[in-house]
Structure 1
Amino acid sequence: MDCLRSPFLSPFTSSPQNPFALPRPRPRSKALDSKPPVRSSNASDPWSLSDGNSGRPRPRPYRRNPRKPLSDDDARRIIQAKAQYLSRLRRNQGSGAQTPRWIRRTPEQMAQLIEDDRDGHLYGKHVVAAIRKVRALAARPEGSYDMREVMASFVTKLSFREMCVVLKEQRGWRQVRDFFAWMKLQLCYRPSVIVYTIVLRIYGQVGKIKLAEQIFLEMLEAGCEPDEVACGTMLCAYARWGRHKDMMLFYSAVRRRDILPSVAVFNFMISSLQKRKLHVKVIQLWKQMLDDAVEPNRFTYTIIISSYAKENLVDDAFDAFRKMKKAGFPPEEATYSLLITLSVKHGKGDDALQLYEEMKTLAIIPSNYTLASLLTLHCKNANYTKALVLFTDMERNKIVLDEVIYGILIRIYGKLGLYEDALKTFEEIKIIGLLNDEKTYVAMANVHLNVGNYEEAVEVIELMRSRNVELSNFAYNVLLRCYVAKEDVVSAELTFQMLSKTGLPDAGCCNDLLRLYAKLGLFEKAKVLISQVRHDDIEFDEGLYKTVLEVYCKEGMIDDAEILMEEMENVDLAVDRNTKTSLMAMYGAAGGLLKAESLLKNLEQPDPIAFSVMLCLYLENGDSEKAKEILESLCQTNGGLSTANQLISKYAREGKPLVKADIYIIHLICT
């Protein structure tokens, strides 16, 4: 067998002669031999003129007019065949050359192929048999077999490389553990980082992190220095199963050893961190990656742009986007969609539209999510013409509308006052079976609410509830506004309680219910609601401040009103004219005439209502001089005479007696 591996002999050399065998018959003369000798040639060109001279006679083609034969009748055929062969060689040059496999093999490789008995397969038959035998152990319970007995027939038959192949082709972690233990008992075994990396990869795929850590420590104890692949395999195992703390600790240890993971490992790590919404750590790892001069690829840029967008870092996201295009990586539609949504969210509508135009230039068809963001932008800007153009683009690109876009379309119809179109679109969604999102229901309920169809709005919300669609805070808010508009106190209070169970109501909901109480004169319930809002630490907005102050004024709660006014000054909220007029009446009723006068002086342009309030206060206190001054100012304003007449009529209706001097003053001024 050693002779077959000699580079000087052909792998098909015949066996040497037996010295004890009978002598061979004497060969005949070459002249008498009809068959030409077969000669071996090491030339690269397999064609020669002698190959065509076969000893077997060939039938000559029938010709009507036989011509004079050539000196060698097969010469033309051989020349043509050789020309075709050379043409094929020229055509198949390079990596795709269709050269027969036996031509590419050296004699040593042919001898090894015959010895391995692969028969054209990737591995030898004994390797395939070992793989199947170890895989079959997966059907047997753990502890019911001994790997030494199972692999007894393969002792000394598998080389170290072949044992690594058997280990790599296993699917179960138990078979890997047992075979690796048997493998270490073989004479040809030598500790190598390659075999340990194979075991680490399989353990990491099935989540056996503890076993992987033990194998890694064993590799260090065996004197095998971990390389980039082994460390990257361990990092990917941590990342795959969400062990991010251990992953970052191991990454720090790897960097201390000056081992730099590949970009694929970095991608695996940042992708795992992003799935757990750890965008801050993604950004930190990205910066370390740039500091280590690791070249990011398209997937890396996509992940980091997404994390920047989730953290609302607009400038950083666009900076990474520009670097991505500069590096020659064309962004995907999802990347454009993230940046468009981010721009719309932060009020950068021009950037969003520029990105959309860039998508159209690159022939990237936008998704429904991208189109929904652009439609939302046009709705905010009340630019319904561009929204119509966008719908035209969707029809041209044959984009099927989803429920989100239908909901935006309903809101657009509502803003334009196209009530019938909105109702028709809602019924169309209901027929085609796309009515599943609560935002679509709420959009239609808002349209009904804005046109005053409160019953229809309540019916839409009840339809949503009957279809087991969970009501959000926004849906409860719309339902509360419907009941407030209908002045249905019981239903409004019940809706407010249900809203409080889902979470703390916002200032708008509290203001709606409080205005209903104030409108119906239910000030006791209003004060209870204000106390509850104070207890729950609900943040006030401008509308809630004014409504609470109005309740305090009507109830004469001076101290509470002054405290609330100080709070409004602290948040830079000014008290409007109507509220100050109510405060003047409250101060006058409580005997604080001086405070009422101070409020009147603070008004830049007092209206007739403010003058009439002070006039009533002066008349009730019997201060005729100041009443005369206020009455003069009242008559000089627009509508002052009408207000004075209404005031006299009011006193007459209420039966309040006026002093003669007061009547004289009023008569004198008005005439």
Structure 2
Amino acid sequence: MKPLLRPIHYFIPKPPWRRRYSHTQPDPSPTAHDLLTILNKSDGAESLISHLSNNKLISLIQEHHTNPQLGFRLFIWATQRSKLCARMCRSAVIDMLLGDDNGVELYWRTLEEFRDCGIRIGCDAFSVLIRGYDKLGIAEKAVEAFSRMKDFDCKPDVYTYNAVLYVLVRKEVFLLALAVYNQMLKCNLSPSRTTYSILINGFCKSRKTQDAIQMFDEMTQRGIAPNTVTYTIIISGLCKAKRAHDAHRLVDTMKETGCTPDVITYHALLDGYCKLGRLDEAYALVRLLERDGYVLGVEGYSSLILGLFRARRFDEAHELYGKLIDEGIELDVILCTILIKGLADAGRVTDALNFLSEMSKKGLVPDAYCYNAVIKGFCDLGFLDEARSLHLEISKQDCFPNACTYTILICGMCRNGLIGEAAQIFNEMEKLGCVPSVVTFNALIDGLCKASKLEDAQLLFYKMEIGKKPSLFLRLSQGSDRVIDSASLQKKVEQLCESGLILQAYKLLMQLASSGVAPDVITYNTLINGFCKNGNIDGAFKLFKDMQLKGIAPDSVTYGTLIDGLQRVEREEDAFVVFNQMVKNGCTPSSEVYKSLMTWSCRYSKVSVAVSLWLKYLSSLPHREEEAIKAIEENFKEGQIEKAIQGLLEMDVKFKDLDLGPYTILLIGLCQVQRVGEALRMFSVLQEYKVNVTPPSCVHLINGLCKEGNLDLAINVFHYTLERGFMLMPEICNKLLKCLLRSRDKKDRAFDLIRRMRNFGYDLDACLHQTTKLLLQFH
């Protein structure tokens, strides 16, 4: 069969409608029928298109919605002649694609007919198709359209790359987006500002702020000046990463480069300050906005009210809400959700429920977040029946309850020890077709672990993994290129992109993402903690290795939990091996990990090791002076305990970072190795700096002094506990009293101490042992 279209060099001399007319006779425009006839036969097509003005061509494409065949042909011809013309009518063509059930198929047939006739097809013809598929919500087809460009001998330009990058970032397939970007660079295409904005936005949304900054720097190094949109994206990302100070500096840089921040930029910064609790800076920014003529809208008020609620400054939040109402600003669902959540968090759940009812009267439809805030408020207060009742009430609506609703209820049940009820809700959720999230699984697994139902917890963990598609595991487990971690996955994706198999790379990543609810690091940490607390350290280690094989990087909680578990079973050497592995893998140990290792070092009489560990932690903190830390270490080694503790305290006071933990551990450690004199000197320094010594430290100190016979000093420490309002356990009280009663010259001090104990609220009948009472009667 003869093709409908002929090569572009075929055209008939001037068609009838182009004949010269007299000046009195108007020049008629071609009708839709004329155009379709000519384009179908390709007779005079090139001549026709070349003699139409851009505006006429655009209007023809936009006017012929009822004839998509004509519109598509005109558009594809337009991509040959003028990119500007093609882009101006892109929206109309997308509407035609979406407006007809067979619109996309017709468009592909048109492309194939053009190709079969040897007519070159421009990139814009595919760019509009990618955007059309994206609007239809068929991302896979959009990626397929991009992949098929090579079949039409069409090389993507920067605009087509931007179209597919937008789709990939929106679907959160960042690994593939980066691979496509690298492919773009290899094709010697220069990324545009839009390219960088898409990628920076993707990095910010995935919380990879440092990668976003690197991409931003690369953009400026290539001589591409960021605009307000680009700046706002990265400012918002910095705020979400709790780097509001850096975000503010970037706003200043933005102004210096002549790029004016808009209200969205300022709202992003305001929101960042509010979420960090830096409300003084937030209010200062509001004053700056008002001075520059900006009006604080509902978004700005929402950020401030949310910040005040989080800071538990409820009265100020309500006052600001009143100001908003007085200014006539209309509420939206987001602000209503913030107010409902704020009331619920403050324990005013009834008020939150009333406000929820008021929303409907104001013409606002409460969403899942509103209802979930009230349900969570009931659960937090332990009103589980009320929470369940509200859950049943909203179940009548199509969009409720969602996975978050069930997760809140499961958390509430587990927190109150109702594991059976939590499991029942979980099963109900699955029967209704509501897919549990990883948070839902984590909540129930944590509850089962705390209830010592480790077998049930592990079965639930396996259930998460069974959700994965077996075909994926079979494919990935075969051959030398199997994907077992994130590094090999990245390599696999890059190889597929280089081979032009972008659709295959996309399908691989989407299968991984949609292959059930994959356990995350929190899931593993919860189970590892459960095994450790039950003394099954080998089971914990198996899980530890399993998570690494699946590409999940352990975090500081994972390592800390394992270290604590190893110390519980007195495997100190293994604990230090895990600690060294943690540091080697670039995972920064928390202060709790260091304190845990310090505690066990002291128990094994290694106080110097404990000191070195804490100083190592201090060295890892910013702005700590290395010379000062070395001086403290030398003082410890030389036995100058007062100087060493003074140095530590001065450093803590300077950086406003006083943590009693290490001082307690060291003081107790000194007592445990019978260095009571040094412990006492440390106690004196802490008193001098007005640092409250903890009750356990006082107990160990009294015990050590009693053993050495320094009863006067032991009494002084006991008096210290009375003045601080500490109520010590009966064992240490009786030990001190017995030592005093059995000594030759301290018996009176025992009776004086008993009087003071009674005055400070001790129940002597319950506190004193029978032996102590007999000694008192004897004396």
Tell me the TM-score normalised to structure 2 length. 0.44
Q: Which residue of 1 aligns with 2:26?
A: 134
Q: Which residue of 2 aligns with 1:504?
A: 368
1:368-407 pair list within 5 angstroms:
368-407=228-267
Task: Select 1:276's aligned residue among 135, 147, 158.
Answer: 135
Is the partner of 1:276 in helix, strand or coil? helix
Task: Select 1:528's aligned residue among 383, 386, 389.
Answer: 389
Deviates more, 1:299-308 or 1:469-478: 469-478
Q: Which residue of 2 aligns with 1:55?
A: none
Structure 2: distance between partners of 1:356 and 1:429: 26
Task: Select 2:112's aligned residue among 255, 258, 266.
Answer: 255
User: Once the 2 structures are TM-superposed, how far is the Cα of residue 532 of structure 1 from its aligned partner?
Assistant: 3.8
Structure 2: distance between partners of 1:481 and 1:215: 51
Q: Which residue of 1 aligns with 2:563?
A: none
Q: Give the % identical residues.
A: 16
**Structure 1 residues 271-326: Cα deviation after superposition (integer angstroms, max 9, x where no partner):** 66268355443322211112333122232222222222223232332233233333
Structure 2: distance between partners of 1:473 and 1:285: 38
**Structure 1 residues 61-118: Cα deviation after superposition (integer angstroms, max 9, x where no partner):** xxxxxxxxxxxxxxxxxxxxxxxxxxxxxxxxxxxxxxxxxxxxxxxxxxxxxxxxxx
Q: Which has the higher contact order (CA 8 A, sep 6+)?
A: 2
The alignment's C-alpha RMSD in Å is 5.2
Q: Which residue of 1 aligns with 2:445?
A: 573
Tell me the TM-score normalised to structure 1 length. 0.50
Q: Which residue of 2 aligns with 1:441?
A: 301
1:482 aligns with 2:347: no
Question: Structure 1 191/550 Cα, relative in aligned 2: closer, same or farther at 3 Å?
Answer: closer
User: Once the 2 structures are TM-superposed, how far is the Cα of residue 479 of structure 1 from its aligned partner?
Assistant: 0.5
1:239 aligns with 2:104: no
CA contact (8 A) 1:203 1:209 kept: no
1:514 aligns with 2:382: no
Q: Which residue of 2 aligns with 1:454?
A: 314
Q: Which residue of 2 aligns with 1:65?
A: none
Question: Structure 1 347/413 Cα, relative in aligned 2: closer, same or farther at 3 Å?
Answer: closer
**Structure 1 residues 2-49: Cα deviation after superposition (integer angstroms, max 9, x where no partner):** xxxxxxxxxxxxxxxxxxxxxxxxxxxxxxxxxxxxxxxxxxxxxxxx
CA contact (8 A) 1:298 1:329 kept: yes
CA contact (8 A) 1:504 1:538 kept: yes
Question: Structure 1 283/427 Cα, relative in aligned 2: closer, same or farther at 3 Å?
Answer: same
Deviates more, 1:449-458 or 1:495-504: 495-504
Task: Select 2:64's aligned residue among 208, 229, 238.
Answer: 208
Is the partner of 1:134 in helix, strand or coil? coil
User: Once the 2 structures are TM-superposed, how far is the Cα of residue 509 of structure 1 from its aligned partner?
Assistant: 0.8
1:411-430 pair list within 5 angstroms:
411-414=271-274, 417-430=277-290
**Structure 1 residues 571-609: Cα deviation after superposition (integer angstroms, max 9, x where no partner):** 6532399989xxxxxxxxxxxxxxxxxxxxx9869xxxx
Question: Structure 1 570/388 Cα, relative in aligned 2: closer, same or farther at 3 Å?
Answer: closer
1:548 aligns with 2:406: no
Question: Structure 1 560/399 Cα, relative in aligned 2: closer, same or farther at 3 Å?
Answer: same
Structure 2: distance between partners of 1:464 and 1:451: 20
User: Once the 2 structures are TM-superposed, how far is the Cα of residue 417 of structure 1 from its aligned partner?
Assistant: 4.8
Structure 1: distance between partners of 2:96 and 2:71: 20
1:266 aligns with 2:130: no
Q: Give the aligned residue type for 1:575.
A: G
User: Once the 2 structures are TM-superposed, how far is the Cα of residue 393 of structure 1 from its aligned partner?
Assistant: 1.9
Q: Give the aligned residue type for 1:269.
A: V
Task: Select 1:333's aligned residue among 184, 193, 197.
Answer: 193
Q: Give the aligned residue type for 2:122.
A: V
CA contact (8 A) 2:68 2:103 kept: no
Give the paired residue count: 419
**Higher alpha-carbon Rg:** 1
Is the partner of 1:295 in helix, strand or coil? coil
User: Once the 2 structures are TM-superposed, how far is the Cα of residue 528 of structure 1 from its aligned partner?
Assistant: 2.3
User: Once the 2 structures are TM-superposed, how far is the Cα of residue 338 of structure 1 from its aligned partner?
Assistant: 0.8
Q: Give the aligned residue type for 2:97.
A: R
Q: Give the aligned residue type for 1:537.
A: P
Q: Which residue of 1 aligns with 2:352?
A: 492
User: Once the 2 structures are TM-superposed, how far is the Cα of residue 258 of structure 1 from its aligned partner?
Assistant: 1.6
Q: Which residue of 1 aligns with 2:182?
A: 322
Structure 1: distance between partners of 2:413 and 2:104: 54
Q: Give the aligned residue type for 1:401.
A: P
Structure 1: distance between partners of 2:209 and 2:24: 62
Task: Select 1:308's aligned residue among 164, 168, 171.
Answer: 168
Q: Give the aligned residue type for 1:262.
A: I
Question: Structure 1 431/639 Cα, relative in aligned 2: closer, same or farther at 3 Å?
Answer: same
CA contact (8 A) 2:341 2:374 kept: no
Deviates more, 1:369-378 or 1:329-338: 369-378
Structure 2: distance between partners of 1:290 and 1:460: 59
Q: Give the aligned residue type for 2:378.
A: L
Structure 2: distance between partners of 1:670 and 1:542: 55
1:33-52 pair list within 5 angstroms:
none
1:105-116 pair list within 5 angstroms:
none
1:75-224 pair list within 5 angstroms:
129-130=21-22, 133-135=25-27, 170=29, 192-194=44-46, 204-208=60-64
Structure 2: distance between partners of 1:308 and 1:454: 42
User: Once the 2 structures are TM-superposed, how far is the Cα of residue 397 of structure 1 from its aligned partner?
Assistant: 0.9
Structure 1: distance between partners of 2:111 and 2:190: 32
- Name structure 2 gaps, 5 residues minimum: 1-17, 429-439, 453-531, 536-725, 734-764, 774-779
User: Once the 2 structures are TM-superposed, how far is the Cα of residue 255 of structure 1 from its aligned partner?
Assistant: 1.9
Is the partner of 1:323 in helix, strand or coil? helix
Q: Give the aligned residue type for 1:248.
A: E
Structure 1: distance between partners of 2:203 and 2:232: 13
